[in-house]
Amino acid sequence: MFDGLKEKLGEFREDAADVAAEQATTEHEAQADSEAPDDSTATDDSTAGAPDGADESEGGPSLTDRAKSLATGKVILDAEDLEEPLWELELALLENDVEMSVAEEILDGIEAELVGEQKTITESTTGLIEEALREALFDVVSVGQFDFLDRLAATDKPAVIIFTGVNGVGKTTSIAKLATYLEEHGFSSVLANGDTYRAGANEQIEVHADRIDAPLISHEQGGDPAAVIYDAVEYANAHDIDVVLGDTAGRLHTSDGLMNQLAKIDRVVGPDMTLFVDEAVAGQDAVKRATEFNEAANIDGTVLTKADADTHGGAAISIASVTGAPILFLGTGQGYDDLEAFDPEALVEDLLGA
């Protein structure tokens, strides 16, 4: 999963570590030269009159600061030292479908961690770079994160979860997977087919309900989606069921009629969570759609399907940051058990090959 992005992050880590090591070597040599006896009394016009410790580049660490840091086994990097590897990293992130503002946020995080600060020189300067990269990645993928099961447990029964997104991204299958996941964690659920206008929608969700042995509420084709979800809530109340999982029609943000249906579900039922579903392999298209759906429906979290087939990882890196709503689950295969709770720390460790 995300093998292409892993490779690029590894290349940046090595390149940046080489730059840091080279800078340390250069500064050690410069310090040695400055401590050597000098019989010349000539003064370099370019530095004459400069205050002690002044740097050649405005705003960067001074030569004196650099020299002092070396005496304690440390090195100071400035922006110019990392300019080339950071540029290469930015290109790599964009090539792997990371949204531009998110890529810039990652770069800013790395610079803030490394530039202008004294960093201890260890046996491998790769450790310094890796930690900065880890912090920057974690900051963008963990935005808005919450414990899904804890929130469910704290919600009055039945908790109502509505699924939304465009056609063909795996909403209905994800509902069945989440029902399986919930059962494994002690929560009962009922499925509700609010996708009432699509031919074959009832049959599709019924197949899933039968396979996982879950109750299903559905109406005739063309019925009111809000009424279906409402009936599912009534069924859950009558049968002491914990969670209602409501499917909706695949919709585009530009489809006013479908968005009005979603708004009516909000008014009639008042769902506790609205989850956006899209394919990880859709990359920046998924990020764009997540932004648009969030503006229209105020999503609470995202389920990314086909994560196991995604070599880029751009959607997983970007969606939480651009929407403020966390990724909650990754679909990782065809089976009903192939749904993983999203763990930002584990994702970052995996991306860095730790």
Please report the pLDDT score of residue 95 as a whole number.
92
pLDDT level of residue 122 (50, 70, 90 thresholds): very low
pLDDT at 333 over 70: yes
Question: Of residues 305 and 68, which shows the higher confidence score?
Answer: 305
Lowest mean pLDDT among 173-177, 232-236, 258-262: 258-262
If you write DSSP's letter for every residue of 75-120 in order, what string do you get? EEB-HHHHHHHHHHHHHHHHHTT--HHHHHHHHHHHHHHHBTSEEE
Q: Rounded CA gap, 266 and 272, in Å?
A: 9
What are the residue boundaries of the structural domains of the chain, listed by start?
Answer: 3-35+57-141, 148-342
Q: Given CA atoms 176, 178, 181, 185 in this order, what sign does their dihedral have?
A: negative
Residue 58 has pLDDT above 60, yes or no: no
Top mean-pLDDT range of 23-27, 107-111, 272-276: 272-276
**pLDDT reported for residue 24:** 60
Question: CATH says 148-342 is which class?
Answer: alpha beta
The string of pLDDT tens digits covering residues 213-222 is 999 999 988 8
- Is residue 127 scored above 90 in pLDDT? no
List pLDDT tens digits, range 233-255.
999 999 999 999 999 887 654 56
Question: 86, 65, 3: which is closest to 280 by C-alpha?
Answer: 3
Q: Provide the pLDDT for residue 26.
A: 61
Residue 213 backbone class (left: φ over 0; alpha: ψ -120 to 50; beta: rest): left
For the ranges 102-116, 252-266, 272-286, 336-350, the lowest mean pLDDT is seen at 252-266
Q: What fold, for 3-35+57-141?
A: Four Helix Bundle (Hemerythrin (Met), subunit A) (1.20.120)
pLDDT score of 32 more than 60: no
Confidence tier at 119 by pLDDT (50, 70, 90)? low
Q: What percent of the chain has pLDDT over 70?
A: 78
Q: Which residues contact 84 (CB under 8 A, 6 or more apart)?
A: 15, 19
Q: How confident is the model at residue 310 (pLDDT cuts 50, 70, 90)?
A: confident
- pLDDT band per the 50, 70, 90 thresholds, residue 199: confident
